Structure formats: structure tokens, C-alpha cells
Structure 1
Amino acid sequence: MPASAQCEAKNDAFKSGEHVMYDLFFNWKFIWTKAGLASLTTNETIYQAKPAYRINLLAIGSKKADFFFKMRDTVTCIIGNRLEPYYFKKAAEEGKRYTIDEARFSYSNGLCHVKQSRTKDGKIERSEYSDSRCIYDMLSILAQARSFDPTDYKVGQRIQFPMTTGRKVEEQTLIFRGRKSFTAENDTTYRCLVFSLVEYKKGKEKEVITFYITDDKNHLPVRLDLYLNFGSAKAFLSSVRGNRHPLTSIVTK
């Protein structure tokens, strides 16, 4: 089986023109404060003469938050119409550090190949990796997760996959945490499916991101909990337009 086929999935969750806005909150010394905005946009594009989707995630900390921790992150991924990864880039200004991670994906001889690089302080570190499984990045795995059919999922079920980080490819695990209701910043309550992205270091499980997606056909991310080196952050949905399906997960009062 071609490796590209192993990456492919049917997209019935989102369409071109989807635009989602989030409010960012950071935690310092047990105090939560609003600290910026984030947007997630999806648009049709052409990549190497093939129809594709471009997904952009932009996170900008406020000037008030800059006093504690400056954050300007721009993350882009390009995926095929069947959700196979083509390209990934993350330009991150976090604190005093500025890095650019890039990854380019190709498929041949039953393998998924990724050429990746990290640019930091003017120095470029390059590497290549191949796997018979599909290799993802942080945005393409989110697009894939939105295509999952959770009907038969059991709490604690694990989904394992390799993911590029710019420097190397690491084994990652998604854990299905179950179903919960969440009230967003727009004062709307959604029934959600909850997943956690975890990593393992020295045999210990460390949660990286927990994300809530609507329990309807959109599987729209409405909340992200991020566990960062300097503390923790949350992104709460504030508005959405261009969703593909009606948001039937909304809990009516």
C-alpha cells in the first residue's frame, strides 16, 4: 500500500472558508489572565499543481502579556484533499527565543518521507526521516482527528503516530478522554469529545495538549489546554464562521 494512502482520510468535518477565533489565557503563579488572541483558518489552495487545504494558526500575546512572556506564533500546514500532509512551518517568537521549523513530506516506495529543518540564531539544523506509517505535524494531526468516527471509542483508547517537531520525528500518543460539556467565551455550551496529546519521557507520561472538539459533524476545536515550559495556557472559542455543518452540539438552555 502506498504510504500516501495510509495518510488519507475522508474529510467530512471542515470546508474552505472556516474561520475560528479564540481568546488566550495564560497562568502565572496560580492566576489566570487574558493574554491575547488566536485564529484558526482553513482555505483552499494549490500545492505542487494539486488541490489542497492551507491551515493557518496564529497566536499573538497582548502587550500586557509581553511583560511576562512574549509570544508571536504563526503555524501553517498544507494538506491534500484526503488530509495527507504536504508541508508544515512554525515560526515562533517565544520569550527571547525565535525559531523556524519546517517540514516537507513526500511519498514513495510505500514510505512517508519527511525532510525537516530548524533555524535558530541563524543556524540551520537539518534531518530526514522515513516511516511506513503516516508522519504528521501538529496541525495535520488535528485535521485528522476531526475526521475520526468516535462512535465506538472507549475512554482511555490510545492512538499512536509519529510526528515531526522540526528537529526530529517523535512517537506521540492521542488518548480519548471521553465526553464533556464546555461553555465557551461566547456563552455557548457545547457537547464535546476530549482528546489529550501526550509524550513519554523516562517512562513518565506528560500531557502536552488537551483539546475539546464539538460532538457533531464539524468536530470543531472549541477549547485547547496547553502545557508549556513557562506554565500553562488555554484557548477558548470566541467566534466561528464558515463551519461546514450546523453546530448540533450546542446545548440549548
Structure 2
Amino acid sequence: MNTQAKKLRLLLIALLMTLSVGVHAQGMANTAFKAGEFLSYNLYFNWKFVWIKAGNASLSTTLTRFKGQNAYKASLNASTNSRADKFYIIRDNLTAYCTGNLVPLFYSKTTHEGDRRNLDEVNYTFNGSRCTIKQRRRKTDGSNHYKTTVKSNAFDMLSVFLRARSWDAAHWRTGYKVGFNIVDGNSCNPAYIQYGGKTNISGDNGHKYRCLKLSYFENEGKGYKRIATFYVTDDKNHIPVLIDLNLKFGSAKAKIVSIRGNRYPVEA
């Protein structure tokens, strides 16, 4: 995978880590979003000290049915633009289902990156505070790889995003940390968020927002590494406005373009 593709994938991961804190298997009240919310972003890479728009991403949430019960459905779609496609094509689609009280049910991700076409699937079964996670990855050659993980706080990127937006950061102090686990088709890694105070951030929609500054760290077996610093609205919505990535092979960022169907007025 080339440098541009790595940057875009990390942008998507960082985007969905927003307020990923305090998660556990039990249900919790959704206080942050409603069905019909739609968020869109511009994605940028830093190429030889020049910021270049490399693609777009959108995240939508709807109310549907899953295996006979009402459920929220979150959908993330991301793609490189025609300019970036000349170097590397990315077309990723992620879908997650969770209950009305934000317990994850199912997650899938279809990946088209260059010549690689993968499918990830995650099924959740809860027994008290313990969760059995059935993982599947289908690779480009059609081979399937299965894994079972048992954790008390493991969530995919989308269900974590939906769930954690309802947590209240009003009493956080600078340096505050909270840990969790992120699962996909073949891995489960520990991670944590560190709070860095408040600041004002401009979006790509002409608006400026008062935001919480958060840094995301992940451990893939070689110690914790800071993946991104991102900024979310300091209000009940907790909408991600900007994500900055400082990578050893360059920089990247995602900036908010539009916010529709939000549950509360954006007071930040």
C-alpha cells in the first residue's frame, strides 16, 4: 500500500475514534444523535508541503430492523477523488447495527484499495458483561479466515462512535485518559483517548467551532503510538470537526463540510 492510501485509511480510523471512551457491554442511553443524521468531510494529504484534497467521506445514521428488532444502522462511505485515483483507488464502505440502547449487533466493512478487495464481518453475542465476538475476513483470493475473541469492552469503529458520543466530557481535566478495545475482521487492539483541553477550529463550511481536543493512541503490539489529534464540538452533539494526523511518512487531515439531521442545535 502506498503513502496516500495509508494516510486515507488512518484518517478514517481517526474519524471514527471520536469520543471512544468508557465503553462496556451493558446498554446506555443515547443522548447525542437521532436517526437521519448525516455528516460529510473533505479529506486532505500533505504532499511536498502543499495540502491536496484527496477524497470525501460521509457518515449517516438511520433507524431500521435487524434480526427482528429495531436497530440503528450507521453507514460510512469513503473514496479517493479522480486526482488521487491516479495513484491509488480507495472505495471503502462500513456498516454497523446496534440496539436502541447502543449495544453492538453486527459490523461489516467492504474494502476496495488498489487491487485488494476484502470483506470484514463481526457478530456480537453478549452474556452479562462478557462479549463473544465472531470475526471473519474474506481476502481478495476468496479465502475466509475466522477468529473468536472474548472481551468485556470490544467494539468496532462505528458502534464505538455511536455509543461514545453520549458520554459527558464536561468534567474532564487536561491529560485525562480512558481505555477501550477496537475490533475488526481479524484483530482486537487496546487503545486510549487523552484529553487536551478546548480550542476553536474552522471547518470547510465557513463556520468556526469551540471544540474539545483529543488525542488517540493505539497499541498494535509494539507499545502505544499516537495516531491522531482530533477536535469535536463542545456541546451535546460531540460532532468531529477536524482530525489531524502526524505520520512518519507525512501529514493528513479531515475537515467537516456539512452537518444535517443533528439532534440538537450546534451550540459550540
State whether TM-score is above 0.5: yes
Where relative contact order (Cα < 8 A, 6+ residues apart) is larger, the structure is 2
Q: Alignment partner of 1:179: what SS?
A: strand
Aligned length: 245
TM superposition shift of 1:80: 1.2
TM superposition shift of 1:48: 1.6
Hey, what does 2:166 align to over in structure 1?
A: 147
Hey, what does 1:70 align to over in structure 2?
A: 89
TM superposition shift of 1:211: 3.0
Hey, what does 2:193 align to over in structure 1?
A: 174
Distance 1:31 1:96, change over 3 A: farther
Q: Alignment partner of 1:139: what SS?
A: helix
Mapped pair 1:123 → 2:149 = no
Hey, what does 2:99 align to over in structure 1?
A: 80
The 5 A counterparts of 1:149-164 are 149-164=168-183
Q: 2:53 aligns with which of 34, 37, 58?
A: 34
TM superposition shift of 1:244: 0.5
Q: Distance in 2 between matches of 1:238 and 1:110?
A: 38
CA contact under 8 A between 1:7 and 1:85: conserved in structure 2?
no
Q: Distance in 2 between matches of 1:108 and 1:99?
A: 30
TM-score by length of 2: 0.84
Q: Which consecutive segments of 4 or more residues in structure 1 shift more than 6 A?
A: 227-230
Q: Distance in 2 between matches of 1:125 and 1:190?
A: 44
TM superposition shift of 1:228: 7.2
CA contact under 8 A between 2:26 and 2:129: conserved in structure 1?
no
Residue identity opposite 2:36 in structure 1: G
Hey, what does 2:203 align to over in structure 1?
A: 184
Distance 1:54 1:226, change over 3 A: farther
CA contact under 8 A between 2:25 and 2:130: conserved in structure 1?
no
Hey, what does 2:122 align to over in structure 1?
A: 103
Q: Which stretch shows the higher mean deviation, 203-212 or 108-117?
A: 203-212
Q: 2:42 aligns with which of 15, 18, 23?
A: 23
Per-residue CA deviation, residues 158-202 of structure 1 (Å, 9 max, x unaligned), is 111122121122212122222121100011000111222211356
Q: 2:218 aligns with which of 167, 189, 199?
A: 199
Q: Distance in 2 between matches of 1:30 and 1:97?
A: 29
Per-residue CA deviation, residues 119-150 of structure 1 (Å, 9 max, x unaligned), is 1121111100112x221111111222211111
Hey, what does 2:28 align to over in structure 1?
A: 9
The 5 A counterparts of 1:33-52 are 33-52=52-71
Hey, what does 1:248 align to over in structure 2?
A: 267
TM superposition shift of 1:96: 3.1
CA contact under 8 A between 2:119 and 2:139: conserved in structure 1?
yes
Q: Alignment partner of 2:154: what SS?
A: coil
Distance 1:32 1:175, change over 3 A: same
Per-residue CA deviation, residues 26-64 of structure 1 (Å, 9 max, x unaligned), is 233433201221111000011122211111111111111
Hey, what does 2:18 align to over in structure 1?
A: none
Unpaired stretches in structure 2, ≥5 consecutive residues: 1-22
> Percent same amino acid at aligned positions?
38
CA contact under 8 A between 1:7 and 1:134: conserved in structure 2?
no
Hey, what does 2:229 align to over in structure 1?
A: 210
Q: Which has the higher strand share?
A: 1
